Amino acid sequence: MKKISSILLTLSLLGCQTTSTKVEPVFASETIEIKADELSNYWVFENTKVKMLKKRPTWLPKGKGEWTVLTVIDSNGYEVEKTLISSVPEGFMTQSKLDEMPQVKYEAAPSNRNRVPVKFYGTAKVAPRSEL
């Protein structure tokens, strides 16, 4: 499950990126808390093409570490909040770097016809390929 969370968050960080603009949140109902591996029951990536980057993004920390973030997705499928919960080693990821990350757009899953907004904790890891 931890590996699934890492994969989901990594995909959201590196693929399916849009420009980072402030979006006014829309909540059709109360936000519910889910586990990261339940996200696909509510929201799926709008664009499944992975964008290849020519160079390392400035927001992506160098070295080896991991972080946990609380993400809120509103009723329109926008990430409206990303809050850094923890970073190992401390300072590896910062809230300002997190704020620089591109926004990800989601589509409501077929089982989420009411477009229920969700929040979940996800973990991302940066390490040499041999350690992932």
What are 4-39's pLDDT values in tens digits?
Answer: 444 444 445 444 444 445 678 889 999 999 999 999
- Domain range holding 109? 2-131
Domain total of the chain = 1
* DSSP of 50-82: PPPPSS--TTSPSSSEEEEEEEEE-TTSBEEEE
Is the pLDDT at 68 greater than 90? The verdict is yes
Strand (E) or helix (H) holding 128: none
Query: What CA–CA distance (Å, rounded) separates 119 from 32?
Result: 6
Query: What CA–CA distance (Å, rounded) separates 71 from 91?
Result: 19
Given this model, what pLDDT does residue 14 score? 47
Residues listed for the chain: 132
Is the pLDDT at 126 greater than 70? The verdict is yes
pLDDT band for position 66 (50/70/90)?
very high
115: left (phi over 0), alpha (psi -120 to 50) or beta: left
Note the pTM of the prediction, 2 decimals: 0.75
